[in-house]
Amino acid sequence: MNKPKIVVTRKWPAEVEAQLKELYDVQLNESDIPMTADELKLALQTADALLPTVTDVLNADILSVENKRAKIIGNFGVGYNNIDITSAKAQGLVVTNTPHVLTDCTADIAMLLLLMSARRAPEGERLILNQQWTGWTPTQLIGQKVTGKTLGLIGFGRIAQAMAKKAHHGFGMKILCYAPSQPDATIMSDLQATRCETVEELLSEANFVSLHCPGGSATKHLINEERLKLMRSSAHLINTARGDVVDSKALIKALKEGWIAGAGLDVFEGEPAIDPEFLALNNVALLPHLGSASDETRIAMGNRVLANIAAFFAGNEPGDRVV
Q: Rounded to 5 degrees, what are φ and ψ at 235?
A: -85, 165
Pairing outcome for strands 72-74 and 94-96? parallel
Is residue 109 involved in binding ligand DGY (CB under 6 A)?
A: no
- Binds ligand DGY (CB under 6 A): choice among 16, 35, 44, 54: 54
Task: Report how far residue 24's alpha carbon sits from residue 288's, in angstroms, rounded to the nearest whole number.
Answer: 32
Task: Give the shortest CB-305-to-ligand DGY separation in angstroms.
Answer: 11
**Paired residues of 154 in beta bridges:** 178, 211
Of the candidates 227, 236, 289, 304, the residue annotated as catalytic is 289
Q: Among residues 156 and 259, whose Cβ is nearest to ligand DGY?
A: 156
Identify whether 271 is a catalytic site residue. yes
Q: Among residues 77 and 302, whose Cβ is nearest to ligand DGY?
A: 77
Restricting to residues 63-82, which ones interact with ligand DGY according to CB under 6 A? 77-79
Q: Among residues 78 and 111, whose Cβ is nearest to ligand DGY?
A: 78
262 CB-near residues (< 8 Å, 6+ apart): 117, 118, 120, 236, 237, 255, 283, 284, 285
Q: Among residues 20 and 54, whose Cβ is nearest to ligand DGY?
A: 54
Count of residues interacting with ligand DGY (CB under 6 A): 7
Give the up-direction half-sphere exposure of residue 301: CA atoms within 13 A in the CB hemisphere. Answer: 29
Closest CA to 13 of 101, 80, 108, 81: 101
Task: Give the shortest CB-102-to-ligand DGY separation in angstroms.
Answer: 6
Q: Rounded to 5 degrees, what are φ and ψ at 272?
A: -80, 0
Binding-residue pattern over the window 273 to 312 for ligand DGY, x denoting contact by CB under 6 A: ------------------xx--------------------
Closest CA to 102 of 1, 200, 240, 4: 240
Helix/strand/coil for 224:
coil
Task: Give the shortest CB-199-to-ligand DGY separation in angstroms.
Answer: 22
234 CB-near residues (< 8 Å, 6+ apart): 144, 207, 260, 261
Of the candidates 39, 201, 225, 271, the residue annotated as catalytic is 271
Q: Among residues 150 and 240, whose Cβ is nearest to ligand DGY?
A: 240
Identify whether 236 is a catalytic site residue. no
Q: Among residues 40 and 54, whose Cβ is nearest to ligand DGY?
A: 54
Of the candidates 212, 227, 242, 304, the residue annotated as catalytic is 242
Q: What stretches of the chain adopt beta strand conformation (E)?
A: 5-8, 25-27, 49-51, 72-74, 94-96, 150-154, 174-178, 194-195, 208-211, 236-239, 262-265, 284-286
Binding-residue pattern over the window 86 to 105 for ligand DGY, x denoting contact by CB under 6 A: ----------------x---
Task: Report how far residue 271's alpha carbon sits from residue 140's, in angstroms, rounded to the nearest whole number.
Answer: 33
Identify whether 197 is a catalytic site residue. no
Task: Report how far residue 179's alpha carbon sits from residue 254's, in angstroms, rounded to the nearest whole number.
Answer: 25
Is residue 155 involved in binding ligand DGY (CB under 6 A)?
A: no
Task: Give the shortest CB-263-to-ligand DGY separation in angstroms.
Answer: 18
Question: Can you give the binding site for ligand DGY, defined by CB under 6 A?
Answer: 54, 77-79, 102, 291-292
Catalytic residues: 242, 271, 289
